[in-house]
């Protein structure tokens, strides 16, 4: 099989995740949230574990599409349902916990997959079995959220869509583009700097990045209460500085030490986006706007490897400078709109 086709197995679920997120906004009119979550989890379990039993490339390809569709069906509700049970300070704390739990799942899956693949490549699909006990847990324990009430805020339109919300969606998209480029280009950057045999060191750095992203998400609720909209501005500025230093530094250990800083700041952006959106739109439309945020996030991650290389051909080092500059632009327009944003909190 062509290498590019094999590589696409990793990003393939992103396509059907986007499709399912979009469709879930409409399917939820006819099916309950609980039903959608159960169907989504069933598809994740089936699409995830099936390649363990049938070793055929095109069957694997199809299963990855099924897996992505299942994730997309329940993912918006894993975020928006929180706003139907929690408000104010509790909402921001729960958003941080939700984001941290997601990152913990990613880390756990990576560790399990790395361990299992050393025995046999097909064993990498075994962790997807976890979908079935979660399905049973949801089936017997999920409680229907209170009926959402329309917001009384006159500052927002009936749907809740505004330039402020559009700004937030653009922010999460661009941050996803920047982080996607970091993951895909950090190894080529180290090669360009003349390093060899850095795989183990880079692996440790990326593990630290993901771990500190989890820590950042856990701290989000407490920080958001104190800093409000200054929190995302500060986080983006920290990321901009870290990307700039990664581009100019020649010491591998220093580059690796910057990765936890990037992870911590990045771990704050997602829960901030969800919290701000849910606090700014009518509760009845919360799932719709969370779906838009997830589409922006997944689309940014998906197109990240192609944006700079296709439309703006740059060397790897210059690409990191460009990402730093883009983050500065994000921080500047967030600062410019900070008074307008504050009016909606």
Average pLDDT, whole number, for the chain? 85
Q: Residue 52: in which H helix or E strand, if any? A: none
Mean pLDDT of 152-176: 72
3-state helix, strand, coil in the chain (%, to 5): 85, 0, 15
Give me the phi and psi of 337, to 5 degrees please.
-95, 10
Q: Any residues with CB less than 8 A from the CB of 153 and at least 6 apart, and which? A: 282, 344
Neighbouring CB atoms inside 10 A of 213's CB total 28
Q: Which residue has the higher pLDDT, 1 or 51?
A: 51
Residue 308 DSSP code: I
Torsion of CA 268, 273, 277, 278, to 10 degrees: -40
Q: Which residue has the higher pLDDT, 120 or 345?
A: 120
pLDDT the model gives residue 308 = 67
Distance CA 246, CA 110 (A): 25
Residue 283 DSSP code: G
pLDDT the model gives residue 4 = 63
Q: Six-digit token pair at 171?
A: 């922010």
Q: Minimal CA–CA distance to 46: which of 67, 15, 65?
A: 67
Distance CA 74, CA 20 (A): 9
Write the pLDDT tens digit of every residue in 181-205.
898 888 888 888 888 778 788 888 8
Write the pLDDT tens digit of every residue in 121-135.
889 899 999 999 999
Which DSSP string corresponds to 75-119? HHHHHHGGGGT--HHHHHHHHHHHHHHHHHHHHHHHHHHHHHHTT
Query: Is residue 7 over pLDDT 70?
Result: no
Counting every residue written for the chain, the total comes to 345
Q: Which residue has the higher pLDDT, 50 or 335?
A: 50
Query: Is residue 159 over pLDDT 60?
Result: no
Neighbouring CB atoms inside 10 A of 236's CB total 27
pLDDT the model gives residue 149 = 47
Provide the pLDDT confidence category of residue 157 given band limits of 50, 70 and 90: very low
Three-class secondary structure of residue 17 per DSSP? helix
Neighbouring CB atoms inside 10 A of 87's CB total 13
Distance CA 73, CA 80 (A): 13
Instruction: Say what angle helices 252-280 and 199-227 make with each other, to 10 degrees.
Output: 40
Cα separation values, 121 from 65, 125, 126, 255, Å? 19, 9, 11, 32
pLDDT the model gives residue 341 = 56
Provide the pLDDT confidence category of residue 10 given band limits of 50, 70 and 90: confident
pTM confidence score? 0.80
pLDDT the model gives residue 263 = 94
pLDDT the model gives residue 307 = 74
Mean pLDDT of 310-337: 85
Mean pLDDT of 162-168: 83
Percent of residues, the chain, with pLDDT higher than 90: 37
Distance CA 178, CA 239 (A): 10
Q: Any residues with CB less than 8 A from the CB of 55 and at least 6 apart, and which? A: 122
Distance CA 177, CA 326 (A): 10
Write the pLDDT tens digit of every residue in 29-68.
888 888 999 999 999 999 999 999 988 889 999 999 999 9
Give me the phi and psi of 148, to 5 degrees please.
-60, 140
Write the pLDDT tens digit of every residue in 64-95.
999 999 999 988 888 888 888 888 889 989 99
Write the pLDDT tens digit of every residue in 199-256.
788 888 888 998 999 999 999 988 988 887 789 999 999 999 999 999 999 888 999 9
pLDDT the model gives residue 328 = 95
């Amino acid at each position: 099989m062509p290498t590019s086709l094999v590589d696409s197995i990793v990003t393939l679920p992103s396509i059907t995740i986007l499709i399912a997120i979009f469709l879930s906004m409409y399917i939820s009119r006819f099916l309950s949230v609980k039903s959608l979550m159960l169907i989504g989890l069933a598809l994740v379990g089936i699409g995830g574990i099936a390649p363990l039993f049938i070793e055929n490339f095109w069957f694997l390809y199809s299963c990855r599409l099924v897996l992505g569709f299942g994730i997309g069906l329940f993912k918006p509700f894993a975020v928006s349902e929180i706003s139907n049970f929690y408000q104010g300070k509790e909402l921001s704390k729960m958003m941080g916990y939700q984001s941290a739990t997601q990152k913990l799942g990613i880390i756990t899956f990576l560790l399990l997959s790395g361990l299992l693949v050393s025995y046999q490549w097909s064993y990498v699909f075994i962790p997807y079995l976890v979908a079935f006990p979660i399905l049973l847990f949801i089936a017997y324990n999920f409680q229907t959220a209170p009926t959402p009430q329309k917001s009384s805020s006159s500052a927002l339109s009936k749907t809740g869509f505004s330039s402020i919300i559009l700004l937030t969606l653009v922010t999460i998209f661009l941050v996803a583009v920047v982080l996607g480029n970091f993951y895909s280009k950090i190894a080529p950057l180290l090669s360009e700097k003349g390093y060899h045999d850095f795989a183990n060191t880079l692996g440790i750095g990326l593990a630290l990045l993901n771990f500190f992203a989890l820590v950042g998400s856990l701290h989000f609720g407490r920080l958001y209460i104190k800093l409000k909209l200054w929190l995302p501005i500060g986080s983006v500025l920290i990321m901009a500085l870290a990307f700039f230093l990664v581009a100019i530094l020649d010491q591998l250990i220093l580059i690796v030490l910057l990765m936890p800083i990037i992870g911590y700041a990045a771990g704050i952006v997602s829960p901030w986006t969800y919290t701000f959106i849910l606090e700014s739109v009518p509760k009845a439309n919360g799932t719709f706007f969370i779906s838009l945020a997830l589409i922006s996030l997944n689309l940014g991650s998906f197109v990240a490897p192609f944006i700079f290389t296709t439309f703006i051909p740059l060397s790897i080092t210059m690409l990191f400078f460009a990402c730093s500059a883009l983050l500065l632009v994000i921080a500047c327009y967030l600062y410019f709109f900070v008074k307008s944003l504050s009016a909606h909190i």
